Structure 1
Amino acid sequence: MIDYNTIALSEVVDDEEIVQFIIDSFSCPLNPEVETFLRDKSIEFERLGLSRTYFIFGQYKGEKKLLGYYAIAVKHLSMVNGVSNRIRKIISGYSGRKDCTVYLVGQLAKNYKDRIDQAHLITGRQLLQLAIDKIMVVHRIIGGRAVVVECEDIGYLKRFYEEQGFQWVDKDKTDHLLRYYIGIDSILT
C-alpha cells in the first residue's frame, strides 16, 4: 500500500514556480475539463474561496509523483421538478424543499502524464475516498446532508459514481451535467 501525501493548493498558491510545476505535471486526456479547471480556474477559485483544490502525491521509483487531484466546494443546489420527495428529503432534510446547500466534489482526476496511471498507484475510488474524507472533516464541524458530483452523460462516468454508492438526482438546467448524490448518513454507515 502506498502512502499518499496531500498538498492543498492553499499552501502553495503564492509560489508561482511550485504551482506551475504541479500544473505542468498533470495531464488527463480522458477529460480535458479537469485540465482546464486546474490550469485556468483553480488558482482564482482558491483565492476567491469558491473551492479548495488538493493534490495527491505518492512515491514512484524513488520520486514524489503527482497521482491526481480533486477540488471540493459548498454549492447551492436547486433540484429540477420531478425529483422525488424522498430524494429531496435525503439531500435537503425536507421533502418539499427544492433548494439546499451540498458538498460538491467538483473535480476529480487521476494523472496520466508520463503514463503514471499505468503504475496503478491510485484508483479513482481511492481518490474519491480522499475527497470524501476531507468533506467529512468539514461535516463534523458544520453539518450537512449530502455530497454531490456532476458529470457528463458518459457511461463509464455514470457507472463509476453509481458503483461508489451515488444515486442520480437530475440533470442541471444550466450546464446539462448529470448530478448524483450520496447522503452523509450513507457515508457514515
Structure 2
Amino acid sequence: MLKVVQLLDLIDSDEMPDEELKKLLFTFECKTVLGEESDVQYFLREKAVQFDKMALSRTYLVFSSYHDKPYICGYFSITIKSLIIPKRVFAKLSNSLKHRLMGMGQKTEQANYECKGYLIGQLGKNYSETAKTAGMISGDDLLELAYDKIRESHRMVGGRVLHLECDDIPKLKDFYSRNGFVELENYESKNGLRLFVKTMDKVLKHS
C-alpha cells in the first residue's frame, strides 16, 4: 500500500532530527544512463528541504513497505508557476492547442504568452536495491499521485495548465506523451530540456 507524506511535515516534526531526515533522503537512488547522479536524485538529497523551507515548491515522498519496513519508492515536487511560451513558439502551435492553453491567458510585456498553472519540477522512482527487490512503483502510479495533489490545489486557486521539462530522451518523452502531455516541439530551455504541457481540464477528468 502506498502512502504519500509531505516533506514539510517531516521537516517540522520533532520526531525526525535533521540528520535522520538527511539519511532518509539519501536512501533514494536514481542514476543517469551514464551512471552519474541524476537531477532527480540531486534535488531530493540536496535541494528539496531548502526549497520547502523557502516555499519555492512542495515535495511529496511516496512510501511503500518491504518486510514491514517503510521505504521511499518515489517522490514528486510541484509548484504554482505560470507557463511562458515565446511568441515564435506559440505561433507554430495548432489552433486548437492555442485555444486550450490561452483561452484565458495573456501576453507579457515582451509579447510572450503566459498561462497560469502548475509545474511538476521533479518526478522520479527509487532505483535502490530495496526498491527494486520490493517491486518498483510504476511511473503511471507516481504521476497519478502527483495529479491528486494538483487537483487539491486547483480546487482552491484554479489554473489552466500543467507543465514540466524533461531530458531529450525518447523513452522519457514517450512516457509523458502516453500520459496525455503534448510536447512543444519548437521549445528548448536554456538547459536543453524539452517542454511538455497538459491542460487542466484533462487532468481533472481523471479525478
* TM score, norm. by length of structure 2: 0.83
Partner of 2:170: 155
1:48-87 Cα distance to aligned partner (Å, 9 max, x none): 1110000000121221111011000112321122322533
Secondary structure of 1:13's aligned partner: helix
Secondary structure of 1:82's aligned partner: helix
CA RMSD of aligned residues (A): 1.9
1:82 matched to 2:89? The reply is: yes
Matched-pair contact (CA < 8 Å) for 2:106–2:115? no
Matched-pair contact (CA < 8 Å) for 1:71–1:108? yes
1:102-142 Cα distance to aligned partner (Å, 9 max, x none): 20111001001125134334101100110111000000111
Distance 2:130 2:66 in 1: 12
Secondary structure of 2:29's aligned partner: coil
Question: Could you tell me which amino acid in structure 2 is paired with residue 185 of structure 1?
Answer: D
Partner of 1:25: 27
Count of residue pairs the alignment pairs up: 187
Distance 1:67 1:87 in 2: 35
Unaligned runs of 5+ in 2: 108-112
Partner of 1:143: 158
Partner of 1:7: 5
Question: Could you tell me which amino acid in structure 2 is paired with residue 11 of structure 1?
Answer: D
Alignment of 1:23-172 (within 5 A): 23-30=25-32, 32-80=38-86, 81-83=88-90, 84=93, 85-94=95-104, 97=107, 98-170=113-185, 171-172=187-188
Offset at residue 173 of structure 1 (A): 3.9
Unaligned runs of 5+ in 1: none
Distance 1:95 1:134 in 2: 23
State the structure with more CA Rg: 2
Structure 1 stretch displaced more, 71-80 or 102-111: 71-80
